[in-house]
Amino acid sequence: MALVQQSARSEVDGMEYWLNVAGLSSGFIGSVLIFFFGVPRQVDNEGATFIITDAVNLNERHRISRYRLLGNLGLGMLAFAFALQLIATTL
């Protein structure tokens, strides 16, 4: 009977371990993405005055959307990491 309980407990411990490893990995990758691409700003609060022209720089537009996407991905990975580690801790 003790062997069955120990076996079941070791499976849970293994799952806790791998959830924690997945959470740490996700958190690390998310923080690296945020470090390189920054947290996307939702509101421009610099107080700068912009001159609007009809010209659109497509390369700049593509770069901004890529930075915004990767920054949001980093934030999502950090949130996912916290959730995984919370689940691993409560098991």
**Using CA atoms, how far apart are residues 21 and 51, in angstroms rounded to an integer?**
49
Q: Which residues, 6 or more positions from 43, have their beta carbon under 8 angstroms from its beta carbon? A: none
pLDDT of residue 44: 60
* 91 compared with 36, residue with greater pLDDT: 36
Q: Would you place residue 83 in the very low, low, confident or very high pLDDT band (cuts 50, 70, 90)?
A: very high
Q: pTM (2 decimals)? A: 0.72
Q: What percentage of the chain exceeds 70 in pLDDT?
A: 77
Residue type, 90: T
Q: What is the mean pLDDT of residues 22-47?
A: 86
